[in-house]
Amino acid sequence: MPPVGNLVTSDRVAGSVPLQMSNGLTSVLFEVLSIAGSDLAVSPWEKKLVYWLVCHDQERAGLGCVGFDVIEMGFSREGFYDEKRFVLSLVDAARRRHGWERLSYPPREESAFDALRHLGKLVDDLPIFALDPPLDADAWIPNELPDATCEVHGVYLHEAGCIVCNGAPIDAPPEHTPNRSLR
Ligand SMILES: [Zn+2]
């Protein structure tokens, strides 16, 4: 049977257990991290990382096409420990339901918390020597800064809209989803 949903892996760490998620749970994970990240990012590295997270909107990238390996989060050798701390701070904020009132649906909390905990462990367990060798030039890593945010959700916009607007039910009022992708 082909895999369904998305995987977050840490293939350079022996014995790491991949996080496997349905497409629905994947959307919840990226939405809550995007909300926390858009509020908390300060440095260029942090903003690029959060922009990369919002671009994992499955409405933009395709259902089941947004799995990643934690090494692809763009960690640098110089900033590794601060960068890891930032990612873990987003996971913690999401686990405290930071901004969840901006979601247009109540997420299934148990699975969301399990996924956040699992992602946090994969990132926490990543050692600096896992950064070598460098990724291929065509790897999808954070490399762009955001230039706008959704006026309703406070989340960085990608070129096809807002990840939170796109996650809203199709019958949500248009004034609550001003940056829904037109598809
Ligand atoms: Zn929005």
Instruction: Please give the DSSP secondary-structure letter assigned to residue 175.
Output: G
Residue 73 CA, ligand 1 centroid: distance in Å = 23
Q: How far apart are CA 5 and CA 13, in angstroms?
A: 22
pLDDT of 182 reads 76
Q: How far apart are CA 161 and CA 181, in angstroms?
A: 5
Residue 181 CA, ligand 1 centroid: distance in Å = 10
> In the predicted model, is pLDDT for residue 132 greater than 90?
yes
Tell me: the pLDDT tens digits for 15-32?
A: 999 999 999 999 999 999
Residue 154 CA, ligand 1 centroid: distance in Å = 7
Residue partners of 38: CB distance under 8 A and separation at least 6? 50, 54, 146, 149, 154, 155, 156
Calculate what percentage of the chain has a pLDDT beyond 90: 93
Q: Which of 30, 63, 35 is nearest to 154 (CA)?
A: 35
pLDDT of 97 reads 97
Radius of gyration over every alpha carbon of the chain, rounded to an integer in angstroms: 16
Q: What would the two tokens of residue 165 be?
A: 């607007």
Whether the Cβ atoms of residue 140 and residue 68 lie closer than 8 Å to each other: yes
Residue 43 CA, ligand 1 centroid: distance in Å = 23
CA angle, corner 25, sides to 154 and 42, nearest 5? 30
Tell me: the pLDDT tens digits for 72-131?
A: 999 999 999 999 999 999 999 999 999 999 999 999 999 999 999 999 999 999 999 999
pLDDT of 14 reads 96
| Domain residue spans of the chain | 6-132+142-176
Residue partners of 43: CB distance under 8 A and separation at least 6? 86
